[in-house]
Structure 1
């Protein structure tokens, strides 16, 4: 289905819903393609390809709301589907906070090309995908007697969406991603440490295609000999790829749903300093080629660049139309885009060299955070650092504390943002974190 055909079908569906009793309507029509290749022991373990199309309709009927999805896009079948959805919505309880956004907040078109899709996606030969997966595995295959197992994989995904509302929004977006990954487990005596590595890109030509398996193997071998060390307060460096585990509860606390449900430790904190002055964070939807770049969100609200934390002072929440009305707050968008840290001057190696005694965390194992209080506990993998040198792999240890205290303890921000995600987290140094071990 072409983009023009999607728009035509969406406009028809909106009119049909209005004609049959809906007060407001929003339609999204999406089409996606994906493929996945996994190889193991020089054989193809998984080979998948999928093409999906579907329509989602959001209905506002007599003060009541519902959302419905279908992959049946024939107008005759769709007409009946819409009529039944409207009839069902009438049985629901009224919700006075449900409505489409104010039209003045919609994206009006003519935005810049953010280059979020590879136009050559459909020209990529399936044989090339299989070859790339084997290429990753071959970097590791029989390279060390301690290897127990190796899994390597290739994946890609693309989608395009057209969205139209009954009160004036019309827009479309496209996105693609390509990935390569490896996972390696090795014999480490009583333990069998494992590690992985992956690369990701929006454009196939920009995808890093070598060194993935070798890096996964190197990281796994370095974990041999993991052990607990003594409990205590240690300075902690968190590798950029692992920061998301600690960053996620902070961002979740800014979500309108969490705030309205009293499940946020940052309720009523706008304008207050809630983190270290080292935390400078911006939500930037307009980065060309950014993994989270967009011109509008899933409601059609025009994207805006926003400061989230300014020297530790909280500047904004992520509020959609519904929770904005419930909280009596102006909507900003219920979604993050590219979260960008103001980085420091030192990379991960520099942060390690400057640490006299501490722990480098490279991964987390289990654990949780209490959203309302901020109390957390996580298992960690990593390395003991002494006098600026990595001296011992550590595991089976936990960190615990409170998110507000943790982010107040942020002492340094690395200059190595993780650019393979919309959350561009750099390596971070925190002072005096509680570790439990022996």
Structure 2
């Protein structure tokens, strides 16, 4: 679909014609070229297209929304009428609003079309290299794709924002097997703007595959101790996402956020600086337009341990009276520390190198508990052996305060840049 701007303008007119005071729409069109490897063989090349249209209208403070996947006139007119009905049926809320007038803007990032020949060559190269380097590793499924996404936001205040992004994504899923011994399932993922290097060199893909071959003979751990958690970049991103969740609309509006009264005060060790950089060229992923209708900007969330910003949308800002965030979250970049990864390892008396955390969201007070998947027991400054059926628990706020080291090395996954981070005071227990 080519005329996103025209379709967006028609959406706004249709909702205004229904009698809505304020109206906004988000139109998203994507095309994905996907190359699949199943059971060790390249098996499929396909192209998929997707279009979605989200419409929101406000009448006397009452908000209605409708989402459809068609953009013809009749479908839009019908959706506008449904939006009006939904608004009339909702409760009034003075915090409901749309973004104010701002200059029109258009953004463009990444390749426009895939290099299909290079995609195939890189996939074949990856398959051949994996068989040589890790003969015990079984590639369950591997996906290499290229996605081009166009997005258009418009509202009745005259806001008109457009963006196009193109990027590659690579995701292998695997296990390892030696005789009767099998590792647990694992996966890795990365996004990139080009295919300049062999696929195993991006992110931590090669590390995760090597670890899978080591984990065929993982050990159960018995007992319980309080020790250190050395978080890999992937696992750190999970914990940073948990942190940002407490800064977002729902817990802030509800008043249950563990950080609700902490703006401008230390919430982590002094070495931790976390930023959200959605439009930065240094990340293959990211975004240019926020869901609430603004041009996305950088946000410093934590600076040298001090909380600098909540992650509130326009609605959250109106509801709480606190500043709206220029970013909608994600695209996280954690600044490097002063220690090497090896120095962090050598400083651990007893703990877990946690590569994947499997657990629900923390409770309202920040308590978390989950399984340390594909992880390692550490003792006396060394990575001792891979473990299974090991649980870790702690408190997120305490964990941030207990950070003892941040690595100089960082990993670019395409949608974040993360170091290794060492923190203490975590409870580890096995069977």
CA displacement at 1:173 relative to structure 2: 1.1
SS at match of 1:98: coil
Asked if the contact 2:339–2:408 (Cα under 8 Å) also holds between the matched residues in 1, the reply is: yes
Residue 434 of structure 1 and its aligned partner are, at CA, apart by 1.5
Assess, with a 3 A threshold, how the Cα gap between structure 1 residues 244 and 282 changes in structure 2: closer, same or farther: closer
Q: Quick one: which of 14, 18, 21 aligns to 1:20?
A: 18
Deviation of 1:148 (Å): 5.4
Q: Secondary structure at the match of 1:175?
A: strand
Contact 1:239 1:428 in 2 (8 A): yes
Deviating more after overlay: 181-190 vs 304-313: 181-190
- In the other structure, the counterpart of 1:165 is 155
Q: Secondary structure at the match of 2:360?
A: strand
The answer on whether the counterparts of 2:191 and 2:415 sit within 8 Å (CA) in structure 1 is no
Which of these residues, 91, 94, 97, is aligned with residue 93 of structure 1? Answer: 91
Deviation per CA, 1:12-44, whole angstroms, max 9, x where unpaired?
331232122111111222210113333233444
2:321 to 323, 328, 331: 328
Cα 1:317/1:51, change in 2 over 3 Å: same
| Equivalence map 1:157-196=2 (5 Å) | 157-187=147-177, 191-194=181-184, 196=186
User: CA 1:45/1:329 → structure 2, altered by over 3 Å: closer, same or farther?
Assistant: same
Question: Which residue does 1:66 correspond to in 2?
Answer: 64
Q: Tell me the residue number matched to 1:117.
A: 110
Q: How many residue pairs are counted as aligned between the two chains? A: 427
TM-score after normalising by structure 1:
0.87
Q: What CA deviation, in whole Å up to 9, does each residue of 1:266-316 have, x standing for no partner?
A: 222212222211222223344224245444412222333332112222121
Which residue of 1 is the match for residue 211 of structure 2?
Answer: 219
How far apart are the structure 2 equivalents of 1:406 and 1:97? 34
Secondary structure of 1:223 counterpart: helix
Gaps of 5+ in 2: none
- Separation (CA, whole Å) in 2 of partners of 1:171 and 1:320: 17
Alpha-carbon displacement from aligned partner over 1:234-274 (angstroms, at most 9, x marks no partner):
22211112212322221100102221134422222212222
- With normalisation by structure 2, the TM-score equals 0.88
**Which residue in 1 is equivalent to 2:367?**
375
1:126-176 deviation line (CA, Å, top 9, x unaligned):
x65455434323333476664456433212222101111111211101222
Partner of 1:415: 408
Contact 1:417-1:425 at 8 Å conserved across structures: yes
What's 1:268 paired with?
261
Change (3 A) 1:24 1:344: same
Deviations 1:362-402 (A, max 9, x none): 222x3234341101112114223344332222221111111
User: Do the aligned residues in 2 keep the contact of 1:269 with 1:314 (CA within 8 Å)?
Assistant: yes
Secondary structure at the counterpart of residue 15 of structure 2: helix
Unaligned 5+ segments in structure 1 are: none
Change (3 A) 1:357 1:298: same
Does the CA-based 8 Å contact 2:113-2:148 persist in structure 1?
no
Tell me if the contact between 1:35 and 1:47 (Cα under 8 Å) persists in the aligned partners: yes
Shift of 1:320: 1.0
Q: Give the corresponding residue for 1:231.
A: 224
- 1:205 is paired with a residue whose SS is coil
In structure 2, C-alpha distance between the alignment counterparts of 1:247 and 1:214, rounded to whole Å: 23
Query: Structure 1 228/278 Cα, relative in aligned 2: closer, same or farther at 3 Å?
Result: farther
Counterpart residue number, 2:28: 30
Contact 1:200-1:207 at 8 Å conserved across structures? no
Cα offset, 1:195, TM superposition: 5.4
- Preserved CA contact (<8 Å) 1:376 1:400: yes
Query: Which of the residues 151, 158, 165 maps onto 2:141?
Result: 151
CA distance in 1, matches of 2:172, 2:346: 29
Q: Mapping of 1:288-303 within 5 angstroms?
A: 288-291=281-284, 293-303=286-296
Q: How far apart in 2 are the matches of 1:207 and 1:257?
A: 42
Aligned residue in 2 for 1:53: 51
